[in-house]
Amino acid sequence: MKIGICSDHAGVEYKAKLISYLLGKGYEVVNFGTDTTDSMDYADVAHPMASAVEKGELDLGIALCGTGNGMAITLNHHRGIRAGLAWNTEVGKLVKQHNNANVLVMPARFISYRMAVSIVRAWLTEPFEGGRHQRRIEKIPVD
């Protein structure tokens, strides 16, 4: 499975560690940056990663910023993206089970790295439940 990952300066440390974690688990990882703690604009990395997911070049994506909101708002402007914000393990499970999020977003300034790993693991391993949740996600896109 090929996973894209991006962050702004607020999420860069967790991003670097998550790349190692995911590679260690056998995932193919594409890093969209940023790779320094210099202040930058999350949209500059979120849009390229979202486009790659939309084109099918990536199976899934992970995004981190301070609160997660800048990334989530930006990513969800892409029609092919369902970016879900998760801040604990249970929400990490539900964002896949109920929302089938193809991008996981986390608030790096408000969770521990250990929690970030737990959320990623939950989101990657839980199946989408389909059924009523499929009907609900089909109602999301706006023309």
Strand ranges (E), the chain: 2-7, 28-31, 60-65, 83-85, 103-107
Applying CB under 6 A, the site for ligand RB5 has a residue count of: 7
Q: Interacting stretch for ligand RB5, rule CB under 6 A, among 49-57, 61-69, 91-99, 130-138?
A: 61-69
**Does the N-terminal peptide bond of residue 34 adopt cis geometry, omega within 30 degrees of 0?**
yes
CB contact at 8 A, 58 and 5: no
Q: Say whether residue 44 binds ligand RB5 (CB under 6 A).
A: no
Q: Say whether residue 33 binds ligand RB5 (CB under 6 A).
A: no
- The one catalytic residue in 6, 9, 65, 78 is 65
- Is residue 119 helix, strand or coil? helix
> For this structure, is 6 an active site residue?
no
> For this structure, is 65 an active site residue?
yes
Nearest to 123 by CA among 66, 71, 81, 83: 83
- Is residue 130 helix, strand or coil? coil
Q: Say whether residue 70 binds ligand RB5 (CB under 6 A).
A: yes
Among 18, 63, 65, 83, binds ligand RB5 (CB under 6 A): 65
Closer residue to ligand RB5 in complex, CB, 48/66: 66
Q: What is the DSSP letter of 64?
A: E
Q: Say whether residue 122 binds ligand RB5 (CB under 6 A).
A: no
Question: Which residues of this chain interact with ligand RB5, rule CB under 6 A?
Answer: 8, 10, 65-67, 69-70
